[in-house]
A and B are shown apart, each in its own frame.
Chain A
Amino acid sequence: MAAALSSVVALPSSSLSKPKLSISSLFKYYSLAPSARRPSPPSISCTLTRDPTVQMVDDKETNIRVLQRPDSFGRFGKFGGKYVPETLMHALTELESAFHSLAADEDFQKELDGILRDYVGRESPLYFAERLTDHYKRSNGEGPHIYLKREDLNHTGAHKINNAVAQALLAKRLGKKRIIAETGAGQHGVATATVCARFGLQCIIYMGAQDMERQSLNVFRMRLLGAEVRAVHSGTATLKDATSQAIRDWVTNVESTHYILGSVAGPHPYPMMVREFHAVIGKETRKQAMEKWGGKPDILVACVGGGSNAMGLFHEFVNDTEVRLIGIEAAGFGLDSGKHAATLTKGEVGVLHGAMSYLLQDDDGQIIEPHSISAGLDYPGVGPEHSFLKDIGRAEYYSVTDQEALEAFKRLSRLEGIIPALETSHALAYLEKLCPTLPDGTKLVLNCSGRGDKDVQTAIKYLEV
């Protein structure tokens, strides 16, 4: 079974009318010229994905049957998995067992907790946004209570560091001295370079040449932190190409190197691992909600690019079915413009970067270049667990345009004196549509996933300030 998994190009189950597959991404692992025309998808089928059963397990605390997320193959329903070259299988298996044993290792947990507290600055507060709440009150004075989970206060200014720090610690435990990562706008690159400096690890960041030009300050920052930033010129010279290059490096240097993936995407065990490392967000939120109002949140709202900050907030509450989970993607110039990153709304199922998930692809299975004013949401795929939560109806996904996000950016700055990241602004923008529908006193927690210092120059250009 394992052999079949690793070598087969799997197609979605036969119930889909038009099987599509992002073969181009798979072939990139074998270094074909990116501009070569692809043949139409071969008709290979795989028994494993046909009608996969969703595994259920007993939740230890509540004894209720809950979904196993993921199952032992790294699948969330039919999504996820390990679509990678044979050379990577051992590394992934090794990583998975290391992760499971460290999760149970008290010393590791204690060291990680200490770093999250003293280095990253956790716990991040659950902040009652009074003026924002007032802003959304209806004329009769009713409306939801809006709380912001302040991931923007973390060291380096976003939630990214939670995962970066834990993976660096994991890498050290595995005896790896060399770290690689990909980055789009540079936020994940900066987080990775940061932790490598802290732990004395060699750091190589792959970045699309186009992105390097647009984000030269972040490139400088990564170099200041001691990282080597390597330009990727293939394809469109952006994030997806940097990711492919990073994967290529890992295949070549798997013995010495750990690949710090920045989001809940990629082959198993990454989606699970990254989610677990970000789950501290939701765990703290549960505790803080209990302290503040003696209950649980009613609604959780988060922006979704790859999906890491959203999974970090949602995961703790997935089995609390009365808690509504809402993810907001980037609609860019609008869903009909073709220039957006609304993967869950407009995408189709396929395989990208080692996992089956929704993705933005054209009729030939080529990746469509996404667009969003916020670089962190500019990913043509999405974490497989989000695809799963969408399909089973556990979480709802909507999208918001660049313009709406910019307005929300300004709104929070003016009302609460907090400049949010443009990514986060997408979640904030959705409040305009959401709040009028909510009963009085609904407790809404929004993940303020990052601060907007990095976006000030962009925003100033578009806003009249």
Chain B
Amino acid sequence: MINCRLSTGHILPTPTYKSKPCNTGGGGSDVSSLAVLLEEGKFGRYGGKFVPETLISCLSQLEAEFSSIAHDAGFQMELATTLKDYVGRETPLYFAQRLTEYHKRPNGEGPEIYLKREDLNHSGAHKINNAVAQAMLAKRMGRKKVVAATGAGQHGVATAAACARLSLECTIYMGSKDIQKQAHNVSQMKLLGAQVNCVDGTFKDATSEAIRHWVGNLETVFYLSGTVVGPHPCPTMVREFQSVIGKETKKQAMEKWGGKPDVLLACVGSGSNALGLFHEFIGDKDVRLIGVEAAGLGLESGRHSATLSTGEVGVYHGAMSYLLQDQDGQIIGPYSIGVGLEYPSVGPEVSFLKDIKRAEFYTVTDEEALEAFQTLCKLEGIVPALEASHALAFLSKLCPTMANGTRIVVNCSGRGDKDLPTVEGRLKQGMDL
């Protein structure tokens, strides 16, 4: 993989917007809503297909297949049934009363906090929305084998589950460091019938290895990308499959309070759960979009995953985006207590939203995330994933600035069962409890 400082000194086309009907299917066509223009998989200057020639025709085939399912009623109905009966959708939009009270100011004013309960999905995170859809796509393309890479293991587990259900052979690549930290997820993948291959390093190394596996077996293997990174059409495809989160939220907000959310808040590793929530609302300028990255041990420490705050533009895993790279263009290993946030780059669409200032991005440290984790446990009886805890932690900074009655929807992107050993270890190291 070549990392390239293309951005320096080049004149790049300015991002153009075109009005087009929002093809999100939610409640009638809002023709004037802003939609991101895609030219060959670009979001402004980000995205693209920076891949070896051998992959180009495969990606085109994938793109064609993906376009065709949009009009395939049979596929859509099967997907809807799977999401409902297998995954357990719709996920509730839950009013977190005690959390809302907690963040109120002394005069009793403050925002209303709602949690979008992606933690209730089968396999415990939002990852499955995309995994079941792509597994169906793989079957449709006649592939019998699926390969994927996973960081925290949630995508690995979701993929293994989706493949088991459709009798697809499943191979998951996982970094050795991650395998150690998320052993429970590894066991689950094996139980579900997947083969788990250990790769020296972390998610970024596992991804590289999975792509290598794919390139060597293009005719027979389907590469199931877990997040909105990689060469076109992967970012668009994964975002589309995750956009059910935002679609439901729009409908549920209307049912609950007859309006839209004012603020959407989500953690950002590569960006799949955030884009899944945001996408439906991108054209709604009155809805504020906030993404929270991992500041790990602090931005100055160099041990973090805050790509959008401290990164620079380059090419990684086939797409141009912000990434954490050193002076020589070498990838800096990211770090966070939330393993799913440990990616040295970020989805190209996310980079674009940052540049056009449609979305705002902040960071939160390990400690702040741990505290938010414990707060949600004690106040709402929900054990959130450490990744989602980053979004929850930002509420401490955000809520004091919110007008009374502002409606915030936080994407509770996963449950935290997988993180209990980590949290226990960290707390024993002499913090609370």
User: Once A and B bind, how many residue pairs between them come within 8 Å at the CB atom?
Assistant: 115
By the criterion CB–CB under 8 Å, are B191 and A410 in contact?
A: yes
**Which of B33-41, B272-280, B398-406, B420-428 faces chain A?**
B420-428
Instruction: Check A155 against B191 for contact (C-beta < 8 Å).
Output: no
**Cα distance, A411 to B85, chains bound together (Å):** 19
| Interface membership of chain B positions 80-104, coded 1 if the CB is closer than 8 angstroms to chain A and 0 otherwise | 0000111010011111001000000
With A121-B88, A225-B377, A415-B164 as given contacts, are A220 and B420 in contact (CB-CB < 8 Å)? yes
The reply to whether B192 and A225 form a contact with Cβ atoms under 8 Å apart is no
Q: Report the separation of the CA atoms of residues A414 and B188 in the bound assembly, to the nearest whole angstrom.
A: 11
| Chain A 124-152 interface 0/1 with B at a Cβ cutoff of 8 Å (1 = within) | 11111001000000000000000000101
Closest residue of A by beta carbon distance from B95: A118
A227–chain B nearest beta-carbon distance, Å: 10
Partner of A456, one of B85, B162, B188, B193: B188
Do the beta carbons of A225 and B122 come within 8 Å of each other?
A: no
Q: Is A45 an interface residue (CB 8 A)?
A: no
Contact of A117 among B92, B98, B164, B184 (CB under 8 A): B92
- Which residue of the partner chain, among A121, A131, A223, A419, contacts B188 with CB atoms under 8 Å? A419
Query: Does B65 make an interface contact (CB < 8 A)?
Result: no
A131 touches B165 (CB 8 A): yes
Q: How far is the CB of A255 from chain B (nearest CB, A)?
A: 25
Is B288 engaged at the interface, CB distance under 8 Å to the other chain? no
- Stretch touching chain A among B24-32, B320-328, B380-388: B380-388
Residue of chain B at shortest CB distance from A194:
B381
Q: Which of these binds chain B: A32-40, A394-402, A457-465?
A: A457-465
* Closest residue of A by beta carbon distance from B101: A200
Bound CA–CA A414/B163 (angstroms): 9
State how many residues of chain B have any CB contact under 8 Å with chain A: 44
Closest approach, in angstroms, between the C-beta of A106 and any C-beta of chain B?
Answer: 20
Cα A194 to Cα B416 with chains together (Å): 14
Chain B residues near A457: list those with CB within 8 A: 184, 187
Contact A226:B164 (CB < 8 A) given known A118-B93, A124-B88, A414-B192: no
Please tell me if B433 contacts chain A, counting CB pairs below 8 Å. Answer: yes
Q: Does B18 contact A (CB under 8 A)?
A: no
CB-CB nearest 9 A-B residue pairs? A417-B161, A197-B381, A417-B164, A194-B381, A153-B88, A198-B381, A121-B120, A118-B92, A125-B85
**Which residues does A use to contact B, with CB under 8 Å?**
117-119, 121, 124-128, 131, 150, 152-155, 193-198, 200, 217, 220-221, 223-226, 410, 413-419, 453, 456-457, 459-460, 463, 465
**B residues whose Cβ falls under 8 Å from a Cβ of A:** 84-86, 88, 91-95, 98, 117, 119-122, 124, 160-165, 167, 184, 187-188, 190-193, 374, 377-383, 417, 420-421, 423-424, 433
Q: List 19 A-B contacts (CB under 8 A).
A: A118-B92, A119-B92, A125-B86, A125-B88, A128-B85, A131-B165, A155-B120, A155-B382, A197-B378, A200-B98, A217-B420, A217-B421, A225-B381, A415-B165, A417-B164, A417-B165, A418-B122, A453-B188, A463-B191
